[in-house]
Chain A
Amino acid sequence: MRSIAVALAVARKDLTSEWRTRELVPALAQFVVLALVIANFGFQIDARNAPAIAPGVLWMALVFAGLVAFGRAFAAEREQSSLEAMLMTPASPAAIFAGKALAAGLLLVLCEAVLLPALALFFSVPLSFEVVSAVLLATVGMAVLGCLFAAMVARVRARELLLPLLTLPLWIPFIVFGGQAVQVAMGGSGGTGNALGLLIDLDILFVVLTSLTARFVLDD
């Protein structure tokens, strides 16, 4: 119970500070729309090929927006050395980490709230329940993993280089099954089977593993 209160308090702190500065979300929103523009030039999109390309563009934009979002999650803490202060309180490191991941995940969801309608508009693809749930389910796992490695690289040299190197390979399962679900939902061919169920399984696996290991990353 206490841990949940701590996590919520940390998340509220991060969201409040984002609300006051309004730095990250507008920048991310602009970034994902830009990604769609770049994709248009890269792929020469027309009405025929748009539904086939849209899922790929969606995941590319989401993955790179996620890297930016999670890379920033610990930036303020690092600049002010406030993480050490938080760790000195009796709150458990896992709870603090959960709060950070929750806030960063919610900020990415805000960015998705721009990305998905923009994709539907510019690529004229349907925005079904399956698409939204695949993206949201993937966000859970991506957020815990992304924040874990963001916390790690916040303390090392060359952190901008290292975050994608560590995070992207482990995000691939989410892109595999999330991509499958979105492809099927957007009318493309692709894997059958229960992609959404597998995303839930992956979420559980990574949440459990992260909650076990977060202590060693934060409290060092």
Chain B
Amino acid sequence: MTSPNRYEKGAIAAVALMLVAAGFIFLYAPTDALQGPVQRIFYLHVSTAIAAYGCFALVLIGGIAYLWKENAAADRLARAAALVGLVFTTVTLVMGMIWAKPIWGTYWTWDARLTSTLVLWIIYAGYLMIRRLADPGRQAARFAAVVGIFGFIDVPVVHFSVTWWRTQHPGPIVINDALPPQMLIAFFVTMACTLFLAAVMVAIRYRIELLTDQAAEKVVPAPIVAPTKAGSAR
């Protein structure tokens, strides 16, 4: 048994912190007077959305840096962050739907924020798709960077959709001081833990991308003449 490396330590810490966050969500935060226990979805729902924004910002920054300097590390960062961002967007959408069913009476409504978040998911799924289908290396990195730049336009649209359009989805409540202090503390603890989890996931994914790139560089072309052995020569 070897001692854990820093990625394993990070993963263990992230899991422990998420358990701490769960403690704050379920034990510390008071139950909502109107919505009851289901309101506890709020803490993770909003935190994962913010983590997804952060990941997509990394995709944007990595993409611009790649186009500017052709820096392979920037592209790997974008690649890692896109996948993690997509995972967090999925969590946001699914938790939102679970929350919506008892409160709005339906899993889905074509509200501006829900729709723009779904579009965000589709855009970054397309980002991963073009990565897979373009020639690996420079072409995939360039094309993906362009998609990442255009795709990020949707992030402010998602964020401001609740103020730009009349929506069913509640507007910003954290910055408007609409929460009692205990809920606010639980929210900030959950957000910090979620952001740490996202950072660890991006770091691990970055490591995987790095090793994949290095493995691809190391592939030695097969010898043209195979070592001859009676019967095996073609």
Contacts and interface: CB of A to CB of B under 8 A. Distances in A.
B188 interface: no
B143 A169 contact: no
Contacts of B123: 169-170
A27 interface: no
Report the contact-size class of chain B (Cβ under 8 Å from the partner). 20 to 34
Given A156-B130, A169-B123, A209 B150 contact: yes
A67 B133 CA distance: 19
Contacts of B135: 155-156
B9 interface: no
A152 B130 contact: yes
A165 B146 contact: no
Interface in B64-108: 67
B159 to A, nearest CB: 15
Interface in B171-199: none
A23 interface: no
A76 to B, nearest CB: 21
Interface string B114-156: 0000010011011001100111001100110111011101100
Interface of B: 67, 119, 122-123, 125-126, 129-130, 133-135, 138-139, 142-143, 145-147, 149-151, 153-154, 157
A220 B139 contact: yes
Contact of A156 (B67, B133, B138, B153): B133
Contact of A148 (B122, B125, B130, B146): B146
A166 B126 contact: yes
Given A152-B146, A155-B134, A213-B146, A165 B139 contact: no
Contacts of A169: 119, 122-123, 126, 151, 154
Given A169-B126, A172-B119, A217 B133 contact: no
A152 B153 CA distance: 19
Interface of A: 145, 148, 152-153, 155-158, 162, 165-166, 169-170, 172-173, 205, 209, 213, 216-217, 220
Contacts of A156: 130, 133-135, 139, 143
Nearest to A167: B126
A148 B125 CA distance: 18
B142 A162 contact: no
Nearest to B127: A166
Contacts of B151: 169-170
A109 B12 CA distance: 58
A220 B139 CA distance: 7
Most buried by B among A148, A158, A169, A205: A169
A162 B139 contact: no
Nearest to A157: B133
A176 to B, nearest CB: 9
